[in-house]
Copies of this chain bind each other. A is one copy, B any other.
Amino acid sequence: MARNASLSGFPEWLPQERLVEQHVLDTLRRTFELHGFGSVETRAVETVGQLLRKGEIDKEVYALSRLQDDDGNAATGAREDPNQLALHFDLTVPFARYVVENAGYLSFPFRRYQIQKVWRGERPQEGRAREFTQADIDVVGDGVLPFRYDVELALVIAEALSALPIPAFKLRINNRKLAEGFYRGIGLADTAGVLRSIDKLEKIGAEAVAGLLTSELGATAEQAAQALALASIRTEDTSFVAKVRALGVTNELMEEGLNELEQVIAAAVTSAPGSVVADLSIARGLDYYTGTVYETVLVGHEALGSICSGGRYDALASKGSRKFPGVGLSIGVTRLVSRILSQEFAKSSRSVPTAVLVALADEDSWTAAQEVAASLRARGISTEVAAKADKFGKQIKYADKRGIPYVWFTDGDGAHQVKDIRSGEQLAADPGTWMPPAEDLKPQIVTA
């Protein structure tokens, strides 16, 4: 399983690895649909103008050009052209465009999940691919969106992650209003600048962040110390509220943020005890978040980075004066699956869907064997028919190599027997009624 991708940054799975990925994707889909999220897909391409509307990340974008244009000339990059097509780098920006374009056909609040590949031209490294799958859920309102969705999304995502074959996770939650109000309360006006500095805390440490705050943002040593004191608060319950108050800062926006975060943490702690933490150092790089922010680490695998992030955005999508505020989270599926496979957190019990191989006694029995197979498939049993009447030993070996648990034999008199090739047990069976044990019906994803 330690194969290298033939093209760096573009992982591909073997069939038995893909079964693990399918299990992850199916589990997410089932959880999202149980919570009333419907599926949407958007095209893989956006215009460069749309992609770069927010944030400065144009180094990471793959632009498209027809290999040969209609006149037969080689295409040239056209970075200046906002209508230039490029591959999307996340699912939030395309979704915002989709909502604005289709607003007349959607019912708001609109809840959707979206599971697709995205592309970033970054330098590949562990946990960072150039092509990877994201699984997003968002709820978007027309004009307003009740805060309660910020609470609900934390619960949905905790339930979804809990259903995956991964180690314990920590969903770290903060609120931008809390942080921004606090910074204003201590007299720091460039709140975005402070957030950007605080965002570097884990990378460069508290001392260096204090240096940035004083040198670049004109903070006094005391203001820097206050900002860092806020960022150091981390509680697994709502006791962060008292800790913030103890810092002695008053501000209306901060109070709003405190109240919101308290609601999210109170509900999430009840629903997913031990998996949720109020972490006031979480800033999230992207500028469009305006309230709750989420990120998630696997316990013991913190260096992998966040496996699930998101937040509340009040102004990502708008159509004239009409605003579509939303809240959403995005799971890094490829990052998770890569780690599940490399650490063998889970694997598939076999490499094929097939539960039964129908063996051939002679070449003429192929049509009859197809009828046996059709009977079994009608009850949901994945079945293959041998392509050649090789010696039975060779046909059994075909099944054995793939982990197919059962081989079916029909003799010249039309009598049927089925053999469990693991135990060697062979019994008479009726193609119209026989069922394998439930655990043999489909490949099982077995956790370590």
A interface vs B, CB < 8 Å?
A: 3, 5-7, 10-15, 18-19, 22, 33-45, 47-48, 58-68, 70, 74-80, 85-87, 97-98, 101-102, 105-107, 109, 111-112, 117, 119, 121, 131, 146, 148-149, 152, 155, 267, 270-271, 351-354, 366-367, 370, 377, 380-385, 387-388, 401-402
Contact = CB atoms under 8 A, between A and B. Distances in A.
Contacts of A98: 12
Contacts of A78: 74
A33 B101 contact: no
A64 B67 contact: no
B382 A33 contact: yes
Q: Which of A3, A59, A63, A367 has the most CB of B within 10 A?
A: A63
A149 B387 contact: yes
Contacts of A39: 15, 18-19, 22
Main secondary structure of the interface of A (DSSP, over half): mixed
Contact of A61 (B13, B67, B86, B381): B67
B41 A351 contact: no
A211 B380 CA distance: 54
22 contacts: A3-B105, A7-B43, A7-B47, A14-B106, A19-B38, A34-B377, A35-B382, A36-B384, A38-B351, A38-B352, A38-B353, A45-B131, A62-B67, A63-B67, A66-B121, A67-B86, A75-B77, A75-B79, A107-B351, A148-B366, A267-B367, A267-B370
A10 to B, nearest CB: 4
Given A38-B18, A38-B19, A377-B34, A12 B62 contact: no
